[in-house]
């Protein structure tokens, strides 16, 4: 059973909100704010345990290594992975997807196909586009006015040449939550690998890689209260064992000769060079913070606030909301346009009221092209957002109209 959370109490844990008292931060799909425990964890590492990992034979290095590996374990538990060997730390979700596309890409041949959806963030399009040079073909599954993927189209797009199906779990524009389990199943039935972009879903709902049965899951720490500079790639152990490394250098090797090298064990085979240890420890603290709240409760809170926002926003004349009107189908991400107003102007004028939203193409130009727009306004919520902030947003949009129209 989900428990009601108190965003006003949660706000007290975030130093930025005691500084920026007027701030209604509604750009959580871009990045989230950080609680004090995360800031402290990162700061304390540098102040007390700073040393390189997997190298030093002295106490602080051993301690740093232990903490760094613990962060992998904690992440593995959080998404239901088999263990630390299945969790690779990268810089961000984009890099995680590049690791998959780059490494799997080495094995793809001309005529092989990669299936994507029209809902993808650029980070799950551009790395795959690069494989076209090898003759790999990209195919796209579309979505309807209700923001739902056309699942029948998957059956049509996926065939014997399909090697990879890579798709977004939850859209950063429409908020739509896709049926990842179903898509992974279709992919596997056709002998393809299933790659899930969980950058928006993992921070906001319970995600279990075993239940979903994906081969890869990419997400980002900074979108879930963690530090910037830490991305995560979950990979099934058997898939990672078969895969070639993506980046080469120190720490990812077992031994190096003049003309050849052999690879380290998992996950280190995919973590070349000195990693972001402090970031990983900060991320560990963020997971702890979210676990204390409970992911079910996070989801419940956001569903409530999204339902409220959908209702309030649709009362504004000339405002069009993209995607589903049902809060249960979507995350707390709402993209909209106000007739006659450019999103950039809306965002700039909202900023004056202390309201931070995103305006632009949200790194999803093919999606926006499908919607037939060049830019959108986007408000996105998290655990510290309140209904009062939604009211402020709606009032400020009214003000924008009076200034610009």
Partner 1 sequence: MQSYWEMQEHFDVIPMDRQAYVEEVMDHYKNPRGKGKLEHADFCAKDENPLCGDEISICAKVKAGKLQEIKFDGHGCAICIASSSMLMEKATGMKMEKALKIKREDVLSNFGEISPVRTKCALLSLKVLKLGICSFLGKKAPLE
Q: Residue 360 Cβ, how far from partner 1 at the closest point, in Å?
A: 4
Residue for token pair 């990879």: 164
**Lookup: tokens for 135:** 């003759």
Query: DSSP 3-state assignment of 252?
Result: coil
Contact 269, 248 (CB under 8 A): no
Q: In terms of CB distance, is 3 or 348 closer to partner 1?
A: 348
> Can you list the positions of beta strands (E) in 236-283?
253-256, 261-263
Q: In terms of CB distance, is 148 or 342 closer to partner 1?
A: 342
Q: In terms of CB distance, is 307 or 345 closer to partner 1?
A: 345
355-362, long-range: CB < 8 A, 24+ apart: 355/24, 355/26, 355/389, 355/392, 355/393, 355/396, 356/23, 356/24, 356/25, 356/26, 356/27, 357/26, 357/27, 357/393, 358/27, 358/29, 358/30, 362/29, 362/172, 362/173, 362/335
Q: In terms of CB distance, is 20 or 77 closer to partner 1?
A: 20
Q: Residue 25 Cβ, how far from partner 1 at the closest point, in Å?
A: 11
> Can you list the positions of beta strands (E) in 111-223?
113-117, 137-141, 162-168, 193-197, 216-220
State the catalytic residue, choosing from 157, 214, 363, 377: 363
Question: Near partner 1 by CB under 8 A, which window of 27-35, 81-89, 163-171, 356-364?
Answer: 356-364
Near partner 1 in 121-160, by CB under 8 A: none
* Rounded Cα gap, residues 51 and 45, in angstroms: 9
* Rounded Cα gap, residues 215 and 103, in angstroms: 14
For 209-241, give the DSSP string. HHHHT-SEEEEEGGGGTS-TT-EEEEE-HHHHH
- Binding partner 1 (rule: CB under 8 A), the pick from 34, 330, 361, 392 is 361
Q: In terms of CB distance, is 236 or 358 closer to partner 1?
A: 358
Which helix (H) or strand (E) element contains residue 88? strand 87-90
- Binding partner 1 (rule: CB under 8 A), the pick from 55, 242, 311, 344 is 344
Q: Is 207 in the site for partner 1 (CB under 8 A)?
A: no
* Peptide bond before residue 209 is cis, with ω within 30 degrees of 0: no
Instruction: Quote the distance between the C-alpha of residue 282 and its chain's center.
Output: 17
For 311-375, give the DSSP string. HHHHTSTTEEE-S-S-GGGB-SEEEEEETT--HHHHHHHHHHTTEE-EEE-TT-HHHHHHHT-S-
Q: Residue 45 Cβ, how far from partner 1 at the closest point, in Å?
A: 14
Q: Residue 376 Cβ, how far from partner 1 at the closest point, in Å?
A: 10
- Binding partner 1 (rule: CB under 8 A), the pick from 61, 360, 366, 391 is 360
Q: In terms of CB distance, is 43 or 211 closer to partner 1?
A: 43
Q: Residue 15 Cβ, how far from partner 1 at the closest point, in Å?
A: 5
Binding mask 40-79 for partner 1 (x = CB under 8 A): ---x------------------------------------
Q: Residue 22 Cβ, how far from partner 1 at the closest point, in Å?
A: 6
Q: Is 354 in the site for partner 1 (CB under 8 A)?
A: yes
Near partner 1 in 1-40, by CB under 8 A: 15, 18-20, 22-23, 39
Q: Residue 50 Cβ, how far from partner 1 at the closest point, in Å?
A: 17
- Binding partner 1 (rule: CB under 8 A), the pick from 142, 348, 388, 395 is 348
Instruction: Examine the residue annotation and report whether 363 is marked as an active-site residue of this protein.
Output: yes
- Binding partner 1 (rule: CB under 8 A), the pick from 31, 126, 342, 366 is 342
Q: Using alpha carbons only, what angle is made at residue 335 by residues 329 and 338, rounded to the nearest 5 degrees? A: 135
Q: Is 343 in the site for partner 1 (CB under 8 A)?
A: yes
- Binding partner 1 (rule: CB under 8 A), the pick from 26, 29, 240, 375 is 375
Torsion of CA 123, 125, 127, 132, to 10 degrees: -170
- Residues in contact with partner 1 by the rule CB under 8 A: 15, 18-20, 22-23, 39, 43, 342-345, 348-349, 351-352, 354, 359-361, 365, 368, 374-375, 403-404
Catalytic residue numbers? Answer: 363
């Amino acid at each position: 059973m989900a428990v009601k959370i108190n965003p006003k109490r949660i706000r007290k844990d975030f130093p930025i909100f005691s500084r920026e008292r007027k701030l209604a931060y509604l750009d959580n799909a871009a990045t989230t704010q950080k609680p004090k425990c995360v800031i402290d964890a990162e700061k304390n590492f540098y102040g007390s345990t700073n040393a390189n990992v997997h190298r030093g034979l002295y106490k602080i290095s051993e301690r740093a290594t232990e903490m760094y590996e613990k962060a992998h374990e904690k992440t593995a538990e959080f998404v239901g992975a088999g263990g630390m060997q299945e969790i690779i730390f990268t810089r961000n979700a984009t890099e995680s997807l590049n690791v998959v596309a780059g490494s799997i890409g080495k094995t793809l041949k001309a005529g092989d196909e990669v299936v994507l959806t029209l809902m993808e963030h650029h980070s799950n399009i551009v790395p795959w586009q690069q494989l076209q040079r090898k003759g790999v073909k990209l195919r796209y599954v579309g979505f309807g006015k209700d923001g739902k993927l056309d699942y029948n189209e998957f059956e049509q797009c996926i065939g014997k040449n399909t090697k990879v199906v890579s798709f977004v779990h939850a859209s950063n524009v429409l908020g739509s939550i896709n049926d990842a389990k179903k898509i992974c199943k279709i992919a596997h039935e056709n002998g393809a690998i299933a790659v899930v972009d969980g950058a928006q879903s993992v921070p906001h709902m319970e995600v279990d890689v075993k239940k979903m049965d994906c081969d890869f899951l990419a997400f980002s720490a900074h979108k879930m209260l963690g530090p910037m500079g830490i991305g995560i790639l979950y990979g099934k152990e058997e898939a990672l064992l078969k895969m070639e490394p993506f980046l080469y250098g120190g720490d990812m090797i077992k031994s190096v000769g003049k003309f050849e090298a052999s690879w380290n064990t998992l996950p280190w085979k995919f973590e070349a060079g000195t990693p972001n240890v402090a970031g990983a420890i900060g991320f560990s603290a963020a997971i702890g913070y979210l676990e204390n709240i409970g992911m079910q409760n996070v989801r419940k809170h956001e569903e409530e606030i999204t339902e409220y926002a959908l209702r309030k926003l649709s009362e504004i004349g000339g405002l069009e909301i993209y995607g589903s009107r049902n809060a249960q189908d979507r995350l707390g991400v709402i993209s909209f346009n106000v007739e006659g107003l450019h999103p950039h102007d809306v965002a700039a004028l909202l900023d004056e009221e202390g309201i931070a939203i995103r305006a632009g193409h949200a790194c999803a130009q093919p999606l926006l092209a499908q919607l037939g727009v060049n830019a959108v306004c986007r408000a996105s919520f998290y655990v510290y957002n309140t209904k009062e902030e939604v009211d402020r947003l709606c009032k400020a949009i009214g003000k924008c109209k009076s200034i610009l129209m």
